Structures are given as C-alpha cells and as structure tokens.
Amino acid sequence: EGVGPQEYTAIKSQVIEWSPAAKEIVESKIGGRKVYMVAATLRPETMYGQTNCFVGTSIKYGIFAVNDQEAYLITYRAARNMTFQGVNEPRGSIEQLVEIEGAKLVGTKINAPFSVNPEIYVLPMDNVLATKGTGVVTSVPSDSPHDYATLMDLRKKAEYYKIDPAWASIDPVPVISTPTYGDLTAPAIVKQLKIQSQKDVKQLEDAKEIAYKEGFYNGTMLVGEFKGQSVQDAKGKVRDSMIQAGLAFAYAE
Ligand code: A2H
C-alpha cells in the first residue's frame, strides 16, 4: 500500500436470503429496503469468478440506509467514508438501521454481480481487517491466493468453521489465463509455494504479489464482455461496465 489514496471498486451484492441468525435481527428493522453487502476490490476484472463472500466473524457490521429503497451492509468506518463520497444525502449523515456481528452473517445467500455463479454464500475468513475497505471481501479463488487458501481451509474443516459444506462447494472458475500459471493462477501459485492454509500469512503475501503482477501484466480474459483482451485493457472496462449497470461504484480511502 502506498501513501496516496487507494481507489477501490465497491461491488454491490444484494442479499437474497438471510442466515437464520441474521434474519431474526435484521428483517424488522430495514423498512423493506433492499440490502446489499458491499465489497471493496482492486480487481474488478475478476468478478466473473466470484464463488463466495468473506466476513470477519468478530467484526461489527452495520446496515446503513442509502435512501428509502436501499441499504448497505458494511463497517461503520466505511459508511462514514462513503457519506463523504456522495453515496447518500445529505453528505456526512449516517442512518444505521442494524448492528450485527460477522459470525451471524455466515450462511447468508447473496447475489454476485457479473459472476458466472449468480448466487453465493457468506463465509468466514480469519484475516479480514476491520480497518480496510468495507470489511466485506468478495472471494475469487481463481485469482486471489488468500481467497483460495481460505476456501480450501473451509472445505477441509467445515465443522471447525461452523459452516455447511454446501456453502463452500463452488469451485474456482477460470477467468484469466496467464502464460506461467494457466487458467487458475492462484491455485497454481498456492501449490507451487506449498501454502497449506490461510494461516501461512508470510507466503500468502508473496503469492499475492506474484499473482497480482502475473495477472495484470500477462493475463488475458477468458470470459465476459472483454474476453480475449489483455487484463490491462479489460480492467477499467469491466469496472465501467459494472458501474454503468448500477452494480458497483467508486470508493476511495
Ligand atoms: B481483492 P489492499 Cl482476485 N481485509 O479483490 C482483508 N482483505 C481485504 C479487505 C479487508 N477488509 N478488503 C478488501 N480486501 C482484499 C479480489 C482480489 C483481490 C483478487 C486478487 C487480489 C486481491 C477478490 N478478493 O487483493 O491492501 C480484496 O481482495 C490483493 C491486492 O487495499 C481487495 O482486492 O491492497 C484487496 O484485499 C485490497 O487490498
């Protein structure tokens, strides 16, 4: 991370069905609004390969009114940043409808805009930072080593993580081809570096660097509107296309 502001793409995933624990807390308080979990990403071009969404189990989230029709599920910190970036009116105002901890969101079914898998589940991830982005991380295991390692942990130890194995059953989707690692860059790098789990923090940082550079400089899109184009060309176009469709917006911090 540099010294300047980080430019994210905020991805809007509408809640389709709350987990039982969330349903109890949420439904009477949202005034009929559509609720979106909003994830901050640096790789909008990978959104075709979303397979699930991660939250931190001990992170506190809120549901914040955007207007009478919509609300966003994010951290309070992100809601405060967003109101100063024109997400709601008046600027600087925050209307929190619900407070809920991450653990209760696990098992919630949401839609995944642009993904070849349009319905995905919320799952726990160990190292979600409350102090970065929205606290919601969309998972693209084909291209993110952290996401892939976490998905493998969840599959191996579903009981320990208190999840239904069915929620982690979507396989990584080929989205970008790279000359060195093929159609599933993150799984290939995780294997090469012998990464065993999301707890291998140091190696995952290395893997993240390698995957990011390889995808950005040498990757070619395998799916979507910009199939066949380089990632460098497609990245901004996918972002613009999602924003045009009302499925994403710019978010900086
Ligand atoms: B990225 P930077 Cl395919 N805690 O999106 C932990 N990680 C978070 C987070 C949080 N609160 N908020 C966002 N992130 C993740 C896609 C992706 C990402 C791919 C490959 C690499 C990658 C799908 N997950 O990130 O510290 C989000 O994951 C590696 C650069 O601000 C977001 O982009 O540089 C990225 O970390 C932002 O990290």
ipTM: 0.98
Beta strands (DSSP E) in the chain are 7-17, 34-41, 52-55, 60-65, 70-74, 96-101, 109-111, 119-124, 137-139, 176-177, 220-221, 248-252
Domain 7-252 - what CATH class? Answer: alpha beta
User: Which residue, chain included where needed, has tokens 């929190």?
Assistant: 96
CA 40 to centroid of ligand 1, rounded, Å: 7
Residue from 131, 138, 144 to probe ligand 1 pocket by mutation (most atoms less than 8 Å from CB): 144
- SS3 of 214, please? helix
**CA atoms of 117 and 227, how far apart (whole Å):** 17
Residue 1's pLDDT band, with cuts at 50, 70 and 90, is: low
Q: What is the pLDDT of residue 95?
A: 98
Taking residues 196-209, what's their average pLDDT?
Answer: 98
Taking residues 176-194, what's their average pLDDT?
Answer: 98
Q: What is the pLDDT of residue 103?
A: 98
**In whole numbers, what is the pLDDT of the chain averaged over residues?**
97
Is the pLDDT score of 96 beyond 80?
yes
Share of the chain above pLDDT 70, in %: 99
Residue from 47, 54, 120, 132 to probe ligand 1 pocket by mutation (most atoms less than 8 Å from CB): 132
Q: Which residue has the CA at smallest separation from atom 26 of ligand 1? A: 1
Q: Which residue has the CA at smallest separation from atom 29 of ligand 1? A: 208
Q: What is the pLDDT of residue 3?
A: 74
Please state the φ and ψ torsions of residue 12, each to the nearest 5 degrees: -95, 115
Residue 171's pLDDT band, with cuts at 50, 70 and 90, is: very high
Cβ-contact 133, 8 below 8 angstroms:
yes
> Following DSSP, what letter does each residue of 57-69 receive, concatenated?
TT-EEEEEESSSS
